[in-house]
Chains A and B, each alone.
Chain A
Amino acid sequence: QKEVEQDPGPLSVPEGAIVSLNCTYSNSAFQYFMWYRQYSRKGPELLMYTYSSGNKEDGRFTAQVDKSSKYISLFIRDSQPSDSATYLCAMGGNTGNQFYFGTGTSLTVIP
């Protein structure tokens, strides 16, 4: 079983839709949770960073962490064609220095 599971999609939505992206994980020691956006042939770009449980909002993006269910989500409101990319969840614990990434979900926002 992989440390982090993420549905690869692809996901296709009309412009203006609300997008929900999710990851599950198995390691209860994870405390740091991140969402990265990766455009084709580019490196991942950090979108959201959350420590422990709870919600965090930044503009059109909301990240949620439910540690009891080992489940994290990223919501994108009023999606735009420029949001079309692969979204990667990543997480890590207090020990060690690596982050564990999901496989990424490919999102296309259709104008």
Chain B
Amino acid sequence: GAGVSQSPRYKVAKRGQDVALRCDPISGHVSLFWYQQALGQGPEFLTYFQNEAQLDKSGLPSDRFFAERPEGSVSTLKIQRTQQEDSAVYLCASSLYAQNYGYTFGSGTRLTVV
């Protein structure tokens, strides 16, 4: 597609519920990133994939967070047993290169845990 597509755009979850957030990167992009953006803050790194390999997951805040990209294209970020502090916008970004170049973000999924 023309850009990075994320779904759903908005998600309301009850505390304790599991959620799955989807990212469709730009076709052919090697690198894929997930970031978390709290209200009034800049994005914070969660995890990085190069093709299907998850090379860095140092930003995942707890073992309730899990990400995968099994075929090197679409990625899913899963959050188990959601808590109120998980409420944020989850941004996906992709880059053609496997290096530190600026990348293209999607519009994000706004997660609200009630």
- Interface residues, chain A, with chain B CB atoms under 8 Å away: 4, 6, 8, 31-32, 34, 36, 41-46, 49, 88, 90, 92-94, 96-104
How many residue pairs link A and B with beta carbons under 8 A? The number is 62
Is there contact, CB below 8 Å, between B40 and A99? no
Is there contact, CB below 8 Å, between B108 and A98? no
Between-chain CB contacts (< 8 Å), 6 pairs: A6-B42, A36-B105, A41-B110, A97-B100, A98-B56, A103-B40
What's the nearest-Cβ distance from chain A to residue B113, in Å? 19
* Chain A CB within 10 A, most for which of B35, B48, B102: B102
The residue that B42 contacts in the complex, of A32, A41, A42, A103, with Cβ under 8 A, is A103
Chain B 57-77 per-residue mask, 1 if CB under 8 angstroms from chain A, else 0: 011000000000000000000
Known: A43-B93, A46-B103. 19 other contacts (CB 8 A): A8-B40, A32-B101, A36-B105, A43-B91, A43-B106, A43-B108, A44-B43, A44-B105, A49-B102, A97-B100, A98-B33, A98-B59, A100-B45, A101-B35, A102-B42, A103-B40, A103-B42, A104-B40, A104-B42
